[in-house]
Structure 1
Amino acid sequence: MGRHETTPRHRHARRRRRHRARRRGRGTLRTIVWTTGLAVLLGAAGAAAVVHRLQSNVHSVDIDSTLGRDRPPAAENGAMNILVLGSDSRMGADSGGAGGARSDTAMVLHVYQGRKQAALVSVPRDTLVTRPACATPAGTRDPGGARKMFNESYSVGGPSCAVSTVERLSGLRMDHFVELDFNGFKKIIDSLGGVTLTTTEPIKDAASHLDLAPGTHTLNGEQSLGLVRTRKSVGDGSDLGRIQLQQAFVKALLTQVRGNGLLSSPTRLLGLADTATKSMTTDSSLANARALMSLAGTLKDLGSSRLTSLTLPVGPDAKDPNRVVPLPTEGEQVWRALRADRPVPSSATASSLGDKGSAGSVVAP
């Protein structure tokens, strides 16, 4: 048969393949890069225009040029590390620094050799770390030092300083950097038609204006942002509890993405890709649609069953009850395992506060 010939059997096989492809859409970062890549493929006639449109949306930071050569070596076996941040501003993309903006969410995604398994390590924003010297937006140099709060790195020196701090903490080279701003997060949720989840306890947070009774809710973008930023009104009121809340929300989000037929609608797909790329800041090597397509292809085999999520092992700070510090032995177990491209041992998190919170008031449907 010619390569253009179509039979019912071939059409059925293609439908099965498309169904399997939709089910593989398993992660927030992966959803963004897949929607960007697929949008480019919507039609040959409009491909160039779509590429130009999406590329013009993405802001970028030249991390490699800023940080120079004094960095951990890249993995030699094809493993990859990506720093993913959620922030309330994209000023870092324009000025090299964040101008007082905050990074509320930080995750290190380690993709193992072969790109079929991954580990996602959340770093609590209140963790005290040793911050390296960083360039500031004003053109000066912050000296850094010991006992600096982790999320201040972004406020001091933007994405480059955040990357440098994570590399100093972990000994892992960050091959890529992706930042999603919170205004964009709200728009993405709204474009998906909201996210449905169930609260088993009331959640009322004055800071985020969130007021949810126990039961099932479909949250719009504003409510979803309030939920993932809620801290005092769930669990133990700490950032550790908020991380657990965010993990529960991500599960609900993945359920929503898989079930709403997004990838079967070119119009909705392009709209989401346009919204997502307008909300992103990346390292300069990812700042084009084709590079995002390549990353999507790299991550195509990752699924929730192949993703291990954990929080950096931490304990209470002896001097400040509102801060936590990395557990030296357990924290090094995590980073040593990832540097060696091996699974993180369960002993690394056994004594940590990070995965022992009680923010179980939200469950995915």
Structure 2
Amino acid sequence: MSAESTPEPGIPEPAQTGPRRRGKGHRRKAPSTGRKALLATAWAAAGVVVLGGTGAGYVYFKLNGNIRSVDINQALGADRPHKVDNGSENILVLGSDSRSGSNKKLGGGTDDGSARSDTAMIVHVYKGHKKAAVVSIPRDTLIDRPACTDADGTAHPAGSGVMFNSAYSTGGAACAVKTVESLTGIRMDHYLEVDFAGFQKLIDDLGGVPVTTTKHIDDPQSHLNLKAGTHDLTGQQALGLVRTRHGVGDGSDLGRIQLQQAFVKALINQVEHVGVLSNPKKLYDLADTATKAVTTDSDLASVNSLADFANGLKGISSSHMKMVTMPVEYDPADPNRVLLEKAKARLVWTALRDDRPIPASATRGTATGEAKGVVTSS
């Protein structure tokens, strides 16, 4: 494995030597609150905008003004994978732990207003938009990052043997998309970024999300203490659940991903069942929070565009969504890092490119994090 001579952005934690620990997983310093179930917020935002996007006048322009965007197409130019015209769509859902604005109140992250991405999910919506596949990319994966140009036109050199999340720290959304496309060979049709302050407020606006925990989760670092049983999570509790890594599993980022994926399904179920059409105030509050929580690619940067996009997602229930983690193995040289299992990952990317289901063999025997089944939908 090669590494750059200077520290990579997005790799703040020192490496740990010795055997991998299990149980409480004392692996690194406390993770930032930026590592959360970003797809959950994006999916909820999409569903809410569908409901709120039919407004007019002040409401329309207020929601429209909330949406931030990045011109990914302009930044990346023509040097991208070919767009597959088979009726499917690929969306990169990313999250940042910017310390600017209301995020300052939640702790973690950086103090200078900059941002770091710690969670990434590729959402593949199959032709017909009745089912989807979600592939989580572990932030700790060591990769070769391609050279890229950010949205401001600044060029950034390639990096060898760096953590995946360094792409966003280096060049923002455009470099993150470039890295994912280089890694997968698949063109990302859209980009959605979610901030964690919006995530927490959205959960509260929804009235909480019911989940069942099969084990006691106690993690002071994420301020979470949940007894085994059924809970109606507040925004703060949900934030703690999806950022915990020491409370369950082997203490790795992979275990946290399993909790995030379970929470995504619980949140989607909650969005489907929350009745807001008869409550204009609740409807507006949800739409306002949702549109403030996301940054999109320029093609989605309006209420109408986001509503049209969301209309294509709202028919996909959690039962028709397959969620996997990109095939990886623990790095034998560093227990805090993981390495891509290239042959198995190729099975995943080929399936998505051909709009086919991800074969079970693609993830069989890969590193998991040992937190599967700890959280389920109530």
Give the TM-score taking structure 2 as reference length. Answer: 0.81
Instruction: Report which stretch shifted further, 344-353 or 247-256.
Output: 247-256
Question: Contact 2:135/2:326 (CA < 8 Å) preserved in 1?
Answer: yes
Tell me how far apart the structure 1 counterparts of residues 265 and 153 of structure 2 sit (CA, whole Å). Answer: 41
Tell me how far apart the structure 2 counterparts of residues 79 and 145 of structure 1 sit (CA, whole Å). Answer: 31
Counterpart mapping for 1:1-365 below 5 A: 29-42=42-55, 47-89=56-98, 100-135=114-149, 140-354=154-368, 357-365=370-378
Give the % identical residues.
Answer: 54
User: Residues 115-138 of structure 1, C-alpha deviation per residue, up to 9 Å, x if partnerless?
Assistant: 222211111111111111134689
Question: Contact 1:196/1:218 (CA < 8 Å) preserved in 2?
Answer: yes
Shift of 1:358: 2.9
Tell me how far apart the structure 2 counterparts of residues 179 and 339 of structure 1 sit (CA, whole Å). Answer: 23
Tell me how far apart the structure 2 counterparts of residues 174 and 157 of structure 1 sit (CA, whole Å). Answer: 17
Gaps of 5+ in 1: 1-25, 92-97
Q: 1 or 2, which has the higher helix percentage?
A: 1
Question: Contact 1:107/1:123 (CA < 8 Å) preserved in 2?
Answer: yes
Q: Which amino acid letter does the alignment assign opposite residue 34 of structure 1?
A: G
Query: What SS is found at the alignment partner of 2:250?
Result: coil
Shift of 1:139: 6.8
Shift of 1:28: 5.0
User: Residues 275-310 of structure 1, C-alpha deviation per residue, up to 9 Å, x if partnerless?
Assistant: 010111000110100101111222243222322111
Query: What SS is found at the alignment partner of 2:366?
Result: coil
Tell me how far apart the structure 2 counterparts of residues 241 and 282 of structure 1 sit (CA, whole Å). Answer: 28
Query: What SS is found at the alignment partner of 2:121?
Result: strand
Shift of 1:250: 2.0
Tell me how far apart the structure 1 counterparts of residues 350 and 167 of structure 2 sit (CA, whole Å). Answer: 23
Shift of 1:212: 2.3
Tell me how far apart the structure 2 counterparts of residues 360 and 229 of structure 1 sit (CA, whole Å). Answer: 16
Give the TM-score taking structure 1 as reference length. Answer: 0.84
Question: Contact 1:102/1:151 (CA < 8 Å) preserved in 2?
Answer: yes
Q: Say what the alpha-carbon RMSD is for the aligned residues.
A: 2.2
Work out which of the two has the higher radius of gyration on C-alpha atoms and give 1 or 2.
1
Q: Which amino acid letter does the alignment assign opposite residue 280 of structure 1?
A: V
User: Are the structure 2 counterparts of residues 71 and 77 from structure 1 closer, same or farther at C-alpha, using a change threshold of 3 Å?
Assistant: same
Shift of 1:347: 0.9
Question: Contact 1:54/1:274 (CA < 8 Å) preserved in 2?
Answer: yes
Q: Which amino acid letter does the alignment assign opposite residue 363 of structure 1?
A: T
User: Residues 245-296 of structure 1, C-alpha deviation per residue, up to 9 Å, x if partnerless?
Assistant: 1122223323333333234433211210100101110001101001011112
Tell me how far apart the structure 1 counterparts of residues 54 and 151 of structure 2 sit (CA, whole Å). Answer: 38
